[in-house]
Structure 1
């Protein structure tokens, strides 16, 4: 695999897992349940709710490989606004079109649960996911992890709890009785690890993230890292649990107007996963294609390095569920039932 850029300029959630048609498409912005448009909802069900295409739900592409509707469906998790992610992943779509000789469609998931549901149902073939959602998905046999992404020179990243620069919050204990915004119930850096930090600081997290209530603070699930951070900036929340990436500007420096209360380092960076319903040879072909991808795939819609639409990651390597065991270990320490999506 060729060396790629280690540093890029760009910085760069629960509901039950339901039908894709009810979970995907335009949201109102942020964190991956983005919103501003640009993406197709890519509804692949007919009027009766069954997969379109032939009787098996699959058809044969020009290359002889089978994909649902003869199309490789790539779904994105809501980590950044929809319009931004559509621009970032445009070269991924183009590259996979050519590498696999099959049309590729991009879809934006309204939340992490929707992405998992799409892979589980086979409506999506491949997805970029958050670590916690993917790890839970593996445990529930809903997804197969195949790759791990590298960004900013590392295969690990950072979760933060932040507050406004003029806040009187200086430690996690100060958040008792306050309102905390989180990115998404299934976000590792935007819920799981912030909750872990809060519990380690002596605060009760109640039944979070499965259900609200019983915590020493009021939790808001904003539906995206950017929206959780915005809740702090607008005074709707006293603090936010988010990935460090959303707190940094284009120069990888701390954004003005916020202060870090606590950080957790060393979280395994987000995976790419495939549907368990995808035949093994197709899982392998998608995985190998992404391993062999050229640097241009990471440069965004404008095709130029170090611009705002670059992908946040610069390389991938093979991975599996074991890579994300540290995430599951923290979930177990919090008493989180890893099958809570089933309810």
Structure 2
């Protein structure tokens, strides 16, 4: 495949959202704020739809309570590209998405990075290539000629970093993540849950996913082992539509920045249960926060062309 152009250089302050320190029930923009009186909150498909709807319900309810004259509607996107298309077209106003997808969105004028999320005691997280303990795979080179399931093609932990690890191990990744043409392995791309499920069901030899999808109550789920891990990826951002006014952006960002603990507990309203949100805090962020992800994408020769694939 012809090497794609390097898609992002020095980040600077591009793609940031200014914060004015406003609080309380704010953002009265007339009879039709946010275009139609509804703030569309879009979720990336990192886990099954029903589960994510339960996770994000209190978050959406809280956001609605902080915005005057507007309701909040949760949407579940088919993939990361659909998130960016929604933000860029004005059919979505705010979204949770992955680091690489957000960087692509900024480059393509489809998103502004606003916040970074915090979880499990850290502002960063881990990508893994995982296999079953009963396999003969001990190193990444053992995957030559094998099959690997990845998350969405624009997922940082579920596509970008696994491909980077495979390339560094000496395997050809060919045209990945657009296709597995020219790669030393067979590949499929779906979501984190679907990729790990394919491994669980014996349909593939390994999965390249975010570590979070492989975890049970006591760490890595029984019957699986990591072939390779990559730590230190900046945790996923919250992004807003560039079509929003600065006042509308500030209203959303400040509301989410000041969200109480009760917004993170899921639909059952109880802390420590299965439908809790995976993150517990946010802080202001910009494109520079995700420069490490951009650097890896540049090394792989990836660009905003990915937004037009699928």
What is the CA–CA distance in structure 2 between the aligned matches of 1:292 and 1:246, rounded to whole Å?
Answer: 27
Q: Which residue of 1 aligns with 2:21?
A: none
SS in 1 for 2:36: helix
| 1:229 counterpart = 2:215 | no
User: Deviation string for 1:262-305 (max 9, x for gaps)?
Assistant: 00000000000000001111001100001111110011111111
**Deviation, structure 1 residue 211:** 3.2
| 1:164 counterpart = 2:132 | yes
**Deviation, structure 1 residue 113:** 0.5
Q: Which residue of 2 aligns with 1:199?
A: 167
Q: Which residue of 1 aligns with 2:180?
A: 212
Whose RCO is larger (CA < 8 A, sep 6+)? 2
For residue 256 of structure 2, the aligned residue among 290, 300, 307 is 290
**Deviation, structure 1 residue 74:** 0.2
Q: Which residue of 1 aligns with 2:104?
A: 136
**Deviation, structure 1 residue 219:** 0.7
Equivalence map 1:211-290=2 (5 Å):
211-221=179-189, 223-251=190-218, 253-290=219-256
**TM-score, normalised relative to structure 2:** 0.88
| 1:98 counterpart = 2:92 | no
Q: Which residue of 2 aligns with 1:73?
A: 40
Q: Which residue of 1 aligns with 2:273?
A: 307
What is the CA–CA distance in structure 2 between the aligned matches of 1:61 and 1:212, rounded to whole Å?
Answer: 50
Q: Which residue of 1 aligns with 2:7?
A: none
**TM-score, normalised relative to structure 1:** 0.80
**Deviation, structure 1 residue 64:** 5.5
The ranges of structure 1 where at least 4 consecutive aligned residues each deviate by more than 6 angstroms after the TM superposition are 60-63
User: Deviation string for 1:195-247 (max 9, x for gaps)?
Assistant: 000000000001111333000001111x2111111111111100000000011
What is the CA–CA distance in structure 1 between the aligned matches of 2:178 and 2:61, rounded to whole Å?
Answer: 38
What is the CA–CA distance in structure 1 between the aligned matches of 2:227 and 2:36, rounded to whole Å?
Answer: 48
For the aligned residue pairs, the C-alpha RMSD in angstroms reads: 1.5
Equivalence map 1:8-157=2 (5 Å):
66-101=33-68, 102-157=70-125
What is the CA–CA distance in structure 1 between the aligned matches of 2:279 and 2:173, rounded to whole Å?
Answer: 32
Q: Check conservation: 2:104, 2:303, Cα contact below 8 A.
A: no
**Deviation, structure 1 residue 340:** 3.4
Q: Which residue of 2 aligns with 1:317?
A: 283
What is the CA–CA distance in structure 2 between the aligned matches of 1:240 and 1:184, rounded to whole Å?
Answer: 12
User: Deviation string for 1:47-104 (max 9, x for gaps)?
Assistant: xxxxxxxxxxxxx978657112210110000011111100010001110111112210
| 1:185 counterpart = 2:153 | yes
What is the CA–CA distance in structure 1 between the aligned matches of 2:183 and 2:177, rounded to whole Å?
Answer: 10
SS in 1 for 2:134: coil
- Aligned in 2, Cα 1:313/1:320: closer, same or farther, shift over 3 Å? same
Q: Which residue of 2 aligns with 1:24?
A: none
Q: How many residues align?
A: 282
Q: Check conservation: 2:77, 2:83, Cα contact below 8 A.
A: yes
Mark the runs of 5 or more structure 1 residues left unpaired by the alignment.
1-59
What is the CA–CA distance in structure 2 between the aligned matches of 1:259 and 1:316, rounded to whole Å?
Answer: 31
